[in-house]
Structure 1
Amino acid sequence: MLIHPWDAPHDDSEWQTWLAAHDFGQLAVNGPPGEPPLVQPLHFAYDPERGEAVTHLARPNPLWRAVEADPRVLLSVVDDYVHVPGPWQAAPGTPPEHGVPTSFYAAVQLSCTAHVVDDPAAKADLLNRQVGHFQPEGGSARAAAGEAPYGRMLSGIRVLRLEVTDVRAKFKYAGKKAEEVRQQMAAALTTRNGPRDAAALEHLVRRGL
């Protein structure tokens, strides 16, 4: 992912705050020689203090063999994306049709070393951490090895503890454009008010409008 200086996060807290509210992504794993990578959509719980993410998958998933062969993986999250029509980007004094279309989006990529967890007690502990992230209000029983209601189900899944080794983040929201152009983009997003336009507008304003 190309990251220009004007699209880079202002600091770690910017991408960490965004990622805290975006906990569904795609896990990319190197495929066998001569085959494409494997990509698995999944929910995950990221813990910045531990520097790791936790997720789980069904035992029959073909991803496991690939992870065991090469534990270097990439967890990718993209959201708040919109298409920006060319006329929105036209510089003042130029014909609107000369503007260049583009995309706005936010993206975080976590390079990780994957650790496969099969021990029942350890799996239960990590699953409880993941459920606690998505259901902080409770409402579900805690998983415990050998205990109802989930103990017998633990053998059907494997847990991944993703140790984060590098982070690349990007907020592509017209960071290099003149203020007047950014103002007209903000007005256009407000008027269009389509899916994700409000989120894109928030980024545009937050990052310097």
Structure 2
Amino acid sequence: MLIHPWDAAHDEGEWRNWLTAHDFGQLAVNGPAGEPPWVQPMHFRYEPEPGPYGQVITHLARPNPLWRDLEDRPAVLLSVVDDYVYVPGHWTAPEGAPAEHGTPTSFYAAVQLRCTARVVDDPEEKALLLNRQVAHFQPEGGTAPAAPGEAPFGRMLSGIRVLRLEVTDVRAKFKYGGNKPAEIRERVTTRLADRSGPGDTAALSHKARRDAAGTTPRGPSRG
């Protein structure tokens, strides 16, 4: 993922706060030699600790074909992309130029987590981690906890495997026109607000925050 300086996360807090509220992504696992990677869509729970970048907890069905390759090559990548919109070219034309000379672009937020995967099959640890993941999505409760050998989910534990992903590196990108002149950024802001389509409100929020903060990153582009 190319990250220009004006699109880089301003600091760790920016990508961490965003990731806390975005918990569905695609896990890329290296496939066999000469084959493309496995790409698994999944819900996950991100935890800011342990380590400098935290960890991810998720689970997948035992019949999933990626397990053998994942255990052979535990370096994986979790990609999370959201808050994306299409920006028409006629919104971005330079001042004094014909509208049709503007360049279409995309706005989006993306965080890529490089991880070392550990497969958890121990029933007690698996139940503990699974319950933590469910608690993230259902803080209000309403689902019985999983416990080995106990109804209603004890017998189902053998049908899943839990993944504990240690995050070893982070690449974060918030592409919201930070390289454009002020008059174009203001024009795009107005057009997004007028359009008010899917994703426009989230894009406007990111754009306003980053416009107010300036475009110079306060931290490394890798995190």
Pick the TM interval, shorter chain.
over 0.9
Residues 1:78 and 2:48 are matched in the alignment: no
Q: What corresponds to 2:218 in structure 1?
A: none
Q: What corresponds to 1:43 in structure 2?
A: 43
- Give distance in 1, aligned partners of 2:138 and 2:49: 19
Letter in 2 for 1:34: G
Residues 1:94 and 2:97 are matched in the alignment: yes
Q: Percent identity?
A: 72
Query: 1:155-187: CA deviations, max 9, x gaps?
Result: 000000000000000000001111111000001
Structure 1 unaligned runs (5+)? none
For residue 61 of structure 1, the aligned residue among 59, 64, 70 is: 64
SS of 1:208's partner is helix
Letter in 1 for 2:12: D
Letter in 2 for 1:167: V
SS of 1:14's partner is helix
Letter in 2 for 1:46: Y
Q: What corresponds to 2:27 in structure 1?
A: 27
Letter in 2 for 1:178: P
Residues 1:146 and 2:136 are matched in the alignment: no
Residues 1:193 and 2:196 are matched in the alignment: yes
SS of 1:143's partner is coil
Q: TM-score, normalised by structure 2?
A: 0.92
SS of 1:113's partner is strand
- Give distance in 1, aligned partners of 2:37 and 2:114: 15
Letter in 2 for 1:203: H
Q: What corresponds to 1:158 in structure 2?
A: 161
Q: What is the CA distance between 1:49 and its match in structure 2?
A: 2.2
Q: What corresponds to 2:16 in structure 1?
A: 16
Letter in 1 for 2:147: A
RMSD over aligned Cα atoms: 0.8
Query: After TM superposition, which residue ranges in structure 1, 4 or more long, deviate above 4 angstroms?
Result: none
Query: 1:105-159: CA deviations, max 9, x gaps?
Result: 0000000000000000010010011011111111111111111111111100000
Structure 2 unaligned runs (5+)? 213-223
Q: What corresponds to 1:171 in structure 2?
A: 174
Q: What corresponds to 1:116 in structure 2?
A: 119
- Give distance in 2, aligned partners of 1:47 and 1:122: 16
Letter in 2 for 1:189: L
Q: What is the CA distance between 1:27 and its match in structure 2?
A: 0.2
Q: TM-score, normalised by structure 1?
A: 0.98
Structure scoring higher RCO (CA < 8 A, sep ≥ 6) equals 2
Q: What is the CA distance between 1:70 and its match in structure 2?
A: 0.3
Letter in 1 for 2:55: E
- Give distance in 1, aligned partners of 2:182 and 2:201: 19
